[in-house]
């Protein structure tokens, strides 16, 4: 798939030590025109967790690895400051809120604590991270010569799930994941709210369903590579008309 029209000065991906986040970081590094800065962030910074990112870092000087816990404002603000020191007056072009808690939980047994933990990471996390990086996103939008809204200008991309779609209820028969579904439905609403406010700053906001990917289970439909190649291709095609929408890794609209 062609990804040549995505021309991003800088990108940050949360939860990118493994899974789709790590694979998205690779996709950005291997773009025909790679970003000047790719910020990969990890909740933990111990050697085993960072093995893959450190290997990538040894091959890519534009990759910066940062600690970022999306539930911890101190950690988020520290990461935002470190990003600012790198990008300076260029700002941050693309923020990908990817980090999530995906653990199971059935309606009859899921506890308030388990639901609250998912909401903290999957919904409040993207909100807090977006708030902290907003000044840098605004700067990128202001400095861009591009008209309208696009991911090459400035954008917040929230990685959601069709599991959070009230109409689709993806894989309900396989796994209820009630807390996860509720947190992603709320993330979709957050995206819509962000899109209505951030558009005035020149920042595009979307939520993306990455497909059912073999990060946790081998019976899923897609490899990480297929999903992230699709996502990056879709990012390149998004424009003003897509602001505040919910699309999948192939660019098809997902019902709310
Ligand atoms: N895989 C799928 O089929 C699928 C389907 C639909 C949607 N999605 C969405 O796609 C995204 C990526 O999924 P995935 O399968 O790659 O998930 P994953 O393999 O479970 O990875 C989740 C990532 O989030 C990080 N994380 C968890 N809590 C965090 C926190 N408080 N602060 C910062 N990072 C934190 C994890 O760090 P640790 O390694 O330290 O735990 C890990 O890097 C998620 O938003 C998920 O909901 C995935």
What span, in angstroms and rounded, lies between the C-alpha atoms of 117 and 71? 9
Query: Does residue 117 have a pLDDT over 80?
Result: yes
70 CB under 6 A from ligand 1? yes
Share of the chain above pLDDT 90, in %: 92
pLDDT tier for residue 47 given thresholds of 50, 70 and 90: confident
Residues 194 and 130 sit within 8 Å (Cβ to Cβ): yes
| Distance in Å, CA 43 to ligand 1 centroid | 11
Please determine, for residue 140, whether its predicted confidence score (pLDDT) is greater than 70: yes
Q: Are 138 and 203 in contact (CB under 8 A)?
A: yes
What is the CA(103)–ligand 1 centre distance, in A? 10
Q: Please give the Cα distance from 180 to 162 (Å, whole number).
A: 11
Name the 3-class secondary structure at 82: helix
- At residue 203, φ and ψ (nearest 5 deg) are -110, 125
pLDDT on residue 3: 43
Over residues 191-203, mean pLDDT: 98
User: Using CA positions, which residue lies closest to atom 12 of ligand 1?
Assistant: 20
Reported as a single tens digit per residue, the pLDDT across 1-17 is 444 479 999 999 999 99
Per-residue tokens: 3: 């990804």
**How many angstroms separate the CA atoms of 173 and 106, rounded?**
11
DSSP letters for 118-149: HHIIIIIHHHHHHHHHHHHHHHHHHH----S-
Distance 17 CA to ligand 1 centre (A): 9
Fold of 10-248: Rossmann fold (3.40.50)
Ligand 1 center to residue 84 CA distance, Å?
25
Residue 217: pLDDT band (50, 70, 90) is confident
Name the residue with the closest Cα to ligand 1, atom 43: 15
- Compute CA distances 160 → 89, 122, 174, 191, 219, whole Å: 30, 9, 19, 10, 20
What is the average per-residue pLDDT within 173-181?
Answer: 96
What separation in Å is there between the alpha carbon of 148 and the centre of ligand 1? Answer: 31
**Strand 10-13 versus strand 246-248 pairing type:** unpaired
Q: Say if residue 35's pLDDT is above 70.
A: yes
CA 106 to mean position of chain CA atoms: 26
* Residue 98 Cβ < 6 Å to ligand 1: yes
Question: How large is the average pLDDT for residues 196-210?
Answer: 98
Q: Quick check: 93 pLDDT over 90?
A: yes
Q: How confident is the model at residue 220 (pLDDT cuts 50, 70, 90)?
A: confident
Structural domain spans, the chain? 10-248
Report d(CA 233, CA 68) in Å as an integer: 26
What SS3 class is residue 22? Answer: helix
pLDDT mean across residues, the chain: 96
Measured from the CB, is residue 19 less than 6 Å from ligand 1? Answer: yes
């Amino acid at each position: 798939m062609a990804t040549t029209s995505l021309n991003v000065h800088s990108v940050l991906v949360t939860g990118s030590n493994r899974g789709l986040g790590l694979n998205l970081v690779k996709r950005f590094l291997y773009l025909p025109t790679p970003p000047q800065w790719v910020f990969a962030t990890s909740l933990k910074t111990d050697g085993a967790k960072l093995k893959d990112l450190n290997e990538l870092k040894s091959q890519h000087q534009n990759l910066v690895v940062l600690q970022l816990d999306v539930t911890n404002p101190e950690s988020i603000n520290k990461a935002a400051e470190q990003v600012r020191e790198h990008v300076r007056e260029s700002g941050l072009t693309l923020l990908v809120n990817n980090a999530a808690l995906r653990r199971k939980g059935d309606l009859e047994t899921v506890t308030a604590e388990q639901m609250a933990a998912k909401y903290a990471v999957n919904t409040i996390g993207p909100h807090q991270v977006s708030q902290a990086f907003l000044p840098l996103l605004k700067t990128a939008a202001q400095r861009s010569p591009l008209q309208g809204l696009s991911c090459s200008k400035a954008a917040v991309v929230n990685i959601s799930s069709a599991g959070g779609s009230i109409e689709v209820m993806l894989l309900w028969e396989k796994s209820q994941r009630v807390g996860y579904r509720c947190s992603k439905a709320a993330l979709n609403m957050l995206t819509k709210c962000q899109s209505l406010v951030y558009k005035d700053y020149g920042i595009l906001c979307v939520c993306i369903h990455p497909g059912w990917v073999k990060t946790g289970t081998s019976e899923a439909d897609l490899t990480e590579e297929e999903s992230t190649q699709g996502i990056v291709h879709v990012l390149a095609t998004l424009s003003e008309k897509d602001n505040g929408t919910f699309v999948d890794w192939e660019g098809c609209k997902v019902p709310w």
